[in-house]
Structure 1
């Protein structure tokens, strides 16, 4: 049924026009060299470009300042080399326009009929901003406020479930509905957001900021910060200061 349908189409279906209407989703298809072959308009805008042709045939390092472009290429290379899907990776995107936003990124390999990997397809969906006036959010409010007030205590999913008077499963399900994130992902987002503000607004050491957001191990903090932002805390601070001065 599916092959018959696609064989009848006048041109290959990529989903490009569909994703052009989804302004909170970045969509792309890349070849086995990691070059863009299909992009949606949201990605064009966030790269600070006007036309899709400005992206086609280019790799992320040609469009995004280092080391951010390198991070995305490393992801691509892993997917292309391993054939394994990257699923719902929580990360902070920072574009040349200086627009930032939390996204959940998924990348999947594209294969020929014999299994050879010929490219990949990916989406990055913006993490939604919750409506705090809904009943769904109010059921989570105590747990959320507790986590925000005690970032240095390394609040766990179990801690939040206890405060919310829910099981871990019930809490996770409600967090997904309200934030589009698991509870664990939301806690990571909270910690990285607080760390960013400390790096921007204070001259505290990296070790002190790690403690401020609940990490007793600075290397663990650095590793998670870099996984989320593509920059080490030191690189992030330097980039922020350079951007402000310019």
Structure 2
């Protein structure tokens, strides 16, 4: 936990900004008691497609991320602030400055005054370029994650993943959800959607072809899941990405 003498002052915040502005591959941020953004470093501004620090003040997650991701981040933030818990090395999915999904590792700590009252939180998030970079506690799942990423066009069964990890299926399901915050099935689905979003943004391929390449045998199901996660259809996603 981080402790300050009194209310969070601009001078306190500025010290963090100066430090983390020097680290281009780390996203640093401070949020207030309601989870709204207070400040961040330059790398975070770039991630959120902003140019000036004042633009972030008071912003909510839904201004930057797809609905399901925004809600998950918001719930984590409120848990850190209200219950004064720490989030350490959480593996999660966010959207980058192009609106495409990326895997990251996040750490968050509550900021408290001397009386122990929460003033907000401070967090750092780091991009994981590939599954080989999994942090220590998640290393046991490295082979599983690589298998999912390399076989998105094929059927992927949870019992097979459990065997790969050397666990019973029930134990694997529990440990996987504890490690990644989502079930193995949801993780597979999001990995497929991640791959699909990249193809949609960078090609003119028909959505029927993209859905098959990413493991969706039913295009209508693919469209529903894509809209559920991104808050817009594949067609609108492509148009928005191209217009930006």
The verdict on a shared fold, with TM-score over 0.5 as the criterion, is yes
**What is the DSSP-based 3-state SS (H/G/I as helix, E as strand, rest coil) of the residue aligned with 2:91?**
strand
Give the aligned partner of residue 156 of structure 2: 152
Structure number with larger C-alpha Rg: 1
Alignment partners' CA distance in 1, 2:21 and 2:155: 38
Instruction: Report deviation, 1:99.
Output: 4.1
Alignment partners' CA distance in 1, 2:115 and 2:189: 44
Q: What residue ranges of structure 2 are gaps of 5+ in the alignment?
A: 4-10, 134-141, 167-178, 198-206
Give the aligned partner of residue 28 of structure 1: 29
1:124-166, Cα deviation, whole Å (9 max, x unpaired): 111133789xxxxxxx88x95698457623266764467xxxx
**What is the DSSP-based 3-state SS (H/G/I as helix, E as strand, rest coil) of the residue aligned with 1:12?**
helix
Alignment partners' CA distance in 2, 1:99 and 1:128: 13
Is 2:80 aligned against 1:86?
no
Please give the residue correspondences for 1:39-188 in structure 2 after superposition, counting only pairs within 5 Å: 39-64=40-65, 66-95=67-96, 97-129=98-130, 144=146, 148-149=150-151, 152-154=156-158, 159-160=163-164
Alignment partners' CA distance in 2, 1:204 and 1:32: 44
TM-score (norm 1): 0.58
Give the aligned partner of residue 219 of structure 1: none
Alignment partners' CA distance in 2, 1:62 and 1:195: 20
TM-score (norm 2): 0.59
Give the aligned partner of residue 12 of structure 2: 12
Instruction: Report deviation, 1:91.
Output: 1.7
Q: Is the 8 A contact 2:80 2:86 kept in 1?
A: yes
Q: RMSD of aligned C-alpha atoms?
A: 4.2
Q: Is the 8 A contact 1:64 1:96 kept in 2?
A: no
Instruction: Report deviation, 1:23.
Output: 2.3
Alignment partners' CA distance in 2, 1:145 and 1:91: 18
Give the aligned partner of residue 193 of structure 1: 191
Q: Is the 8 A contact 1:29 1:37 kept in 2?
A: yes
Q: Is the 8 A contact 1:46 1:96 kept in 2?
A: yes
Q: What residue ranges of structure 1 are gaps of 5+ in the alignment?
A: 4-10, 133-139, 163-181, 210-230
Greater relative contact order, per chain length (Cα 8 Å cut-off, separation 6+): 2
Residues 190/109 of structure 1: CA separation in 2 closer, same or farther (3 Å cut): same
Give the aligned partner of residue 177 of structure 1: none
Q: Is the 8 A contact 1:89 1:104 kept in 2?
A: yes
Q: State the number of aligned residues.
A: 190
Residues 157/239 of structure 1: CA separation in 2 closer, same or farther (3 Å cut): same
Residues 125/189 of structure 1: CA separation in 2 closer, same or farther (3 Å cut): farther
